Structure 1
């Protein structure tokens, strides 16, 4: 047990499906030698979820990972006691649950900074809940990057061997177009290449998508490829990286699962990267934060307020994400 990575796993947004999928997932991996799971949340909420969904888990509330008992059948839980049950209403976000969701992430990063854990997984989040708590939440990668002063975080969607880096993420399409520069595309390629070592791929073959139809057709349908994307690819090749592109996005992903030619892909904006992954693996994708020094991911789905606290939530994606982060941690720390 002690050679397994310690993975912090947050409860996410309490009024959504986060508590349900967390307790189900923890029960599912119990005794499976996946990792040493450290739950971060509110004991009252998680114990309520266990009773409601008939999950036979017991929690051991602790204040720090050093107090964990990894030989116990109880789940070690960092209990922040920040969601009074009277403030919990299924499917309805509020400032209390939004602030708590961020508190769990803050605590996880605190433990990572002091090297008390090997990796982290964020539970299903709600941008609206964070907004009600007074924070403009653009996603975990940006939130963590703000906390630690990293200027260029990116998100990589992972579904089996399909790995897609998003050069831009949660901004309007119009703003995303303005953000595409040689510097940003180069940083996205480099972050993707560096992350591949954590997947056990030392010399990745990476494809970079174009932005415009037909990748601009040599400037006929847009000049971003000529002015920014091709120079970024050339700069990446000067580092010795194996890069193809820019490849028209409408023909880039058709073989990514059946006969994958590339180890990773770099997309220019949110839907360009998300649509192919979700068409093929809607309930089997993880969102990995890259370009930051920590191993962190979350599920590629929201907190589903429409089915919150109804016993309908599937914990499979959370389990897949915990398994993925555990393997990445093993690769990084040679566990």
Structure 2
């Protein structure tokens, strides 16, 4: 593969998406040496983000097809998707912005399916805004899975060689406990092992965090670890997947993230994985969706309405997302094959 074409969705234009996109593409010319980034979004919102970050809006070039991109590091090349969002207020929840963020993702998926883009990089969207815009998805991950028609997938936080899979994500804690099932645990262990095989590390051990404190402490603090996680783990071992657990989360994450004992982790719910990961890695982490037929990498932060329009937003995670997408795209077929 030549340098992969990245369909970079602009996210919620009321937030910092346009600003971090402008900074990433215009202040980091080194990205053009490894990828061809093309923004999928709205030209007026992009210009507003460029002005906020001190860039000349003449650098914006609207194109019809990512294959037209010249990849000039002094330009931002954008495919206009839907009507103008010039009237969306900055820093406020907006149904129009939520609808726009949804459209950008749908278009990016369409471009990948048509072979006109090789990977997707997503700026943050606001879930409440997307719902207000009429689209009932819990977040990017679920929308992408729907567009690609896949059922076996996982949100994966990654930094370097570390990958943190999640059994559940954007649901309430009560719902998360219900959704931690033998079937879902089996599914995610297969995904994690498939990724390990594609990375050339089939013997790499996978560590599963316990759901309850102390992984249930022999049923003193709940039965889920013994009745759900353990059977799934034992069955995975019988299939030849190297798995450890369930391990108390307060022991597992420090051992993995501070001492490097494991690089493949499974968290039971959103904050169990996200809180320690963000505490340790901050802007050095990204969000990858494993299970899709194409690479998707996202920034590991939200829309930051409180600083939107000020030009203060840090583009580091967006730059890293583009780098990781460019690195992963050429070999992603091996991931897909490993999971099939």
TM-score, normalised by the number of residues in structure 2: 0.91
CA root-mean-square deviation: 2.0
Q: Does 1:121 align with 2:121?
A: yes
Give secondary structure in 1 for the equivalent of 2:253: coil
Equivalences for residues 173-184 of structure 1 within 5 A: 173-184=173-184
Give secondary structure in 2 for the equivalent of 1:317: helix
Residues 162 and 277 of structure 1 are in contact (CA less than 8 Å); yes or no, is this contact kept in structure 2? no
Residues 22 and 76 of structure 2 are in contact (CA less than 8 Å); yes or no, is this contact kept in structure 1? no
Give secondary structure in 2 for the equivalent of 1:255: helix
Moved more, 232-241 or 65-74: 65-74
Tell me which residue corresponds to 2:337: none
Residue ranges of structure 1 left out of the alignment (5+ in a row): none
Tell me which residue corresponds to 1:20: 19
Tell me which residue corresponds to 2:61: 60
Q: How far does the alpha carbon of each residue in 1:222-272 deviate from its partner, in whole angstroms, 9 at most, with x for none? A: 221222111111222233221111111110011323431112100111111
Q: CA shift at 1:199, angstroms?
A: 5.0
Aligned equivalents of 2:276 and 2:3: distance in 1? 33
Distance 1:200 1:295, change over 3 A: farther
Moved more, 30-39 or 135-144: 30-39
Tell me which residue corresponds to 2:278: 278
Residues 120 and 295 of structure 2 are in contact (CA less than 8 Å); yes or no, is this contact kept in structure 1? yes
Tell me which residue corresponds to 1:155: 155
Residue ranges of structure 2 left out of the alignment (5+ in a row): 335-340
Distance 1:196 1:326, change over 3 A: farther
Equivalences for residues 198-213 of structure 1 within 5 A: 201-213=201-213
Aligned equivalents of 2:133 and 2:46: distance in 1? 21
Aligned equivalents of 2:188 and 2:109: distance in 1? 23
Residues 43 and 84 of structure 2 are in contact (CA less than 8 Å); yes or no, is this contact kept in structure 1? no
Residues 148 and 293 of structure 2 are in contact (CA less than 8 Å); yes or no, is this contact kept in structure 1? no
Q: CA shift at 1:218, angstroms?
A: 2.5
Aligned equivalents of 1:89 and 1:24: distance in 2? 21
The aligned length equals 332
Distance 1:19 1:70, change over 3 A: closer
